[in-house]
């Protein structure tokens, strides 16, 4: 499963849940629109606005950036964003390979909204993924007004994603993801292996440069390029979920370039591919079990035993798919829908209703939960990052043994967690490793948020990272779901005080 988008990505696919959460919290931070970000709105804007005045003057070229080996940022031409006229947009050209500054160049789509009041600087944010669109995130204006008044809000579509130079190898993805993630026959194993290799081969043929140069350190250097190109101010950054790994790697590479960094829903940089997915399997299984128990304790639960109902449905789809309108619910969609629910507690009642319907022969609601997960988008960018950042099991036999370990941890969802990344067993580019602790000596204080009920990025990650950083400060939230900002007034208060005044809590406020 993805290292995770912020909860906003989940709610973006279910409008009534967005409304419910905003009503409960009286906040706007969860209204992000991340799903469905594949179209290149900036290309359309360029075609449609030839005679439209720019909304901001061009940026003058900066001098050589010592932090990037002498890279010189180009001048930037800003226009009103085609997708949101409250923002300005530009394309920043950067090297495909940061070790070859004069080689092939790619484009990063960048958006900004100027501060409404007494400006402190720019706040750059990333919503996670890998594969999520930063532009769609920032267009929803996810920060409290007290923050947006003081900062230029800036985000970007990372390399390989959305409006930036993007992957062109999605043709085989749907067929691959439709395979049974728990193959129990030679034919099923052969099918999922073949389709996984087809995804990797497609990227090797159609996006070979990105397939080798989209790891997290490449993205962290892109973030430094954005900072330099937009005025060379010290970086204020907030990363959610996988966006925290970008922030941690930035801290490791450029610790003296930072003003303030918030990490929400933390990816532990000491965990490689296998250890990370093993830990995530444990946490997701526990979250799904809590969803089952919550229904069993609810007098309105549509079944007597939700865990038993899930197991019944799983046995049914192993025999044959369950009709779902004009489509079908199979093993892949069942497991994916269950994992999706672990991102947000508000989805737990939907899981109960969907499983009750599926047990009665109607798979539509359960299929819709799976589609909510698939609507995160950006699969090839997600897979590529995971395949490049740390060593992976290579080949069918080694990966099958890894998947078996995750199934032993969670018979319900372990296969899905593992085999979603089976293309890594055949990835066309060599794997590196960014695995290791980030201490960030010389960096300013870092605010680390951890949600005790977070299954996508377990709370223990935030604890370890806060302890490892030279100046890390933990803010705990006793909640459910993925990430913390926007779920609690206590968390928001701590974040806003830090971003605006650089105040860090004297001790963990232990938000409820």
Do residues 423 and 200 touch, judged by C-beta distance below 8 A?
yes
Torsion from C-alpha of 164, 168, 171, 176, nearest 10 degrees: -80
Instruction: Kindly tell me the sign of the dihedral angle through the C-alpha atoms of 496, 498, 501, 506.
Output: positive
Q: Quick check: is 454 catalytic?
A: yes
> What distance in Å separates the CA atoms of residue 89 and residue 110, rounded to the nearest whole number?
6
Do residues 406 and 415 touch, judged by C-beta distance below 8 A?
yes
Do residues 118 and 91 touch, judged by C-beta distance below 8 A?
no
CA distances from 176 to 132, 190, 278, 445 (A): 20, 12, 22, 43
Phi/psi at 26 (5° precision): 50, 45
Phi/psi at 304 (5° precision): -80, -35
Q: Which of 93, 96, 105, 164 is nearest to 132 (CA)?
A: 164
Which listed residue (222, 454, 462, 473) is catalytic? 454
Which listed residue (193, 285, 416, 482) is catalytic? 482
Cβ within 8 Å of residue 66, ≥6 positions away: none
Q: Quick check: is 473 catalytic?
A: no
Query: What number of other Cβ atoms are within 10 A of residue 402's Cβ?
Result: 21
Which listed residue (241, 410, 484, 488) is catalytic? 241
> What distance in Å separates the CA atoms of residue 150 and residue 445, rounded to the nearest whole number?
20
Q: Quick check: is 482 catalytic?
A: yes
Helix (H, G, I), strand (E, B) or coil at 389: helix
Supply the residues annotated as catalytic.
241, 454, 482
């Amino acid at each position: 499963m993805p290292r995770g988008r912020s909860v906003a990505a989940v709610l973006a696919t279910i409008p009534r849940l967005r409304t419910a959460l905003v009503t409960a919290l009286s906040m706007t931070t969860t209204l992000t629109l991340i799903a469905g970000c594949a179209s290149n709105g900036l290309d359309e804007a360029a075609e449609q606005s030839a005679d439209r005045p720019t909304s901001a003057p061009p940026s003058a070229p900066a001098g050589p950036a010592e932090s990037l080996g002498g890279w010189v940022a180009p001048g930037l031409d800003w226009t009103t964003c085609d997708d949101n006229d409250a923002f300005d947009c530009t394309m920043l050209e950067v090297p495909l390979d940061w070790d070859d500054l004069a080689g092939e160049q790619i484009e990063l789509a960048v958006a900004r909204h100027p501060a409404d009041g007494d400006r402190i600087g720019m706040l750059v944010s990333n919503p996670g993924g890998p594969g999520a669109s930063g532009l769609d995130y920032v267009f929803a204006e996810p920060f409290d007004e007290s923050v947006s008044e003081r900062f230029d809000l800036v985000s970007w579509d990372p390399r390989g994603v959305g409006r930036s130079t993007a992957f062109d190898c999605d043709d085989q993805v749907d067929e691959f993801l439709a395979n049974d993630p728990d193959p129990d026959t030679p034919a099923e194993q052969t099918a999922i292996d073949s389709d996984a290799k087809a995804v990797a081969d497609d990227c090797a043929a159609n996006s070979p440069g990105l397939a080798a140069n989209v790891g997290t350190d490449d993205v962290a250097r892109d973030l430094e390029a954005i900072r330099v190109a937009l005025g060379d101010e010290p970086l204020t950054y907030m990363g959610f979920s996988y966006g925290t790994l970008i922030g941690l790697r930035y801290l490791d590479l450029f610790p003296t370039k930072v003003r303030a960094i918030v990490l929400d829903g933390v990816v532990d940089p000491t965990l490689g591919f296998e250890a990370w997915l093993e830990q995530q399997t444990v946490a997701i299984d526990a979250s799904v079990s809590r969803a089952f128990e919550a229904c069993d304790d609810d007098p309105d639960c549509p079944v007597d035993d939700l865990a038993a109902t899930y197991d019944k449905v799983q046995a049914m789809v192993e025999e044959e798919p369950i009709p779902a309108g004009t489509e079908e619910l199979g093993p892949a969609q069942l497991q994916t829908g269950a994992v999706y629910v672990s991102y947000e507690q508000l989805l737990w009642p939907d899981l109960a209703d969907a499983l009750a319907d599926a047990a009665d022969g109607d798979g539509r609601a359960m299929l819709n939960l799976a589609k909510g997960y698939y609507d995160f988008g950006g699969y090839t960018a997600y897979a590529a990052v995971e395949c490049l950042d740390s060593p992976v099991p290579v080949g069918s036999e080694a990966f099958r043994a890894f998947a078996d370990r995750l199934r032993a941890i969670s018979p319900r969802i372990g296969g899905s967690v593992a085999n979603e990344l089976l293309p890594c067993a055949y990835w066309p580019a060599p794997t590196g490793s960014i695995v290791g602790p980030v201490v960030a000596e010389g960096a300013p204080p870092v605010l680390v948020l951890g949600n005790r009920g977070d299954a996508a990025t377990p709370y223990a990650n935030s604890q370890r990272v806060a302890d490892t950083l030279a100046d890390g400060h933990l803010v705990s939230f006793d909640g459910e779901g993925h990430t913390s900002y926007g779920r609690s007034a206590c968390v928001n208060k701590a974040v806003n005080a830090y971003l605006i005044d650089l105040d860090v809590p004297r001790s963990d406020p232990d938000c409820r």
